[in-house]
Structure 1
Amino acid sequence: MTDDIRWEVVEESTLSLPDHEAIAALLGRAFPDWSHWYVGGRSWAGMQPERRVLARDAGGVVLAHVGIRRMFITVGGRDVLVGDTGLVAVSPRLQGTGKGRDLMERAHAVLEGLGVPYGFLGAGENRVPFYANLGWHVFDDAVADYTAFTAEGAGLPMTDQGGWMVLPVAERLEDWPAGPIWLNGQQV
């Protein structure tokens, strides 16, 4: 049932261990190939979010989730403040019901509240159309360097091209700098 969904925006420091366990359970269901990351109370893959948008059912089961953290990234040699957005998940049983759109509309409101010029996320090729329909813009030729973490915690330098997306929040897309992207660490 989707009628009893309760949406909330929470700050990371307010989450309890049962909250983290409920989020981790959703992430494990939503990303089965990565479920070994989301065990116990580990509800993040790289950098922990600053804010999270959650949808819960009446029993407290987390049905949808997105994490956001303010950070500076370097684009074409210029530091740019972004709301790094990740860990976007909707329970498999609710996919295709519009809950993903609801989730990302709430994420946009959080980005506005944080006062960031842009939202930023890395999306798999098959997810780009979903985000593009919500106002995110893909930079197919953008190359990004970042630190990827293993489930064991080791940091590995990575370079990826494609799937990097920007959402204009307080600035115009035309003001986004050209050039390679350096994430200066890990992603949400």
Structure 2
Amino acid sequence: MPAIEVVLGDITSENVDAIVTAANESLLGGGGVDGAIHRAAGPRLAEAGAAIAPCEPGNAMATPAFDLHPPIRHVIHTVGPVWEGGGYGEAEILASCYRRSLAVADELRARSVAFPAIATGVYGFPPDQAAKIAISTIISTRTDVEKVRMVAFDESTRRLLAAATHR
């Protein structure tokens, strides 16, 4: 089980081998954390994403990190579920995002990974439920990743993630 740290910050400046972006199926970039990562990594990120797209909800795919600063070497793109009330498998799809991202990190031999709170922005997943799913999935997933940093964009998300680590 990797060590899990919860921080408030900018995922594009994390000191990790790989960062995860909450992508859309096209992997061309979008809003929120995905837009921030695409701006920081430069236009080659969208070109590389387009070359491997589409990415189905719950899956994950990797590209180089391009203009992101070392040690970040990879961007892992994962597509979260759009919240439709919870009766359409959203929780399992979200858990799959974390499991698949860790599996891709293992394939890349990444030992440290930073995650955002996947699907809690425009996709509308309730942040309290998403935090519990994120932490419980990371804890229960077999991986060679040694350190996971959960990077919250705001204080309320940071508090939810931190609370989920103490259950």
More RCO (CA 8 Å, sep 6+)? 2
Q: When you count strand as a share of all residues, which structure comes out higher? A: 1
Q: When you count helix as a share of all residues, which structure comes out higher? A: 2
User: Shorter-chain-normalised TM-score: which range?
Assistant: 0.3 to 0.5
With structure 1 as the length reference, what TM-score do the two structures score? Answer: 0.35
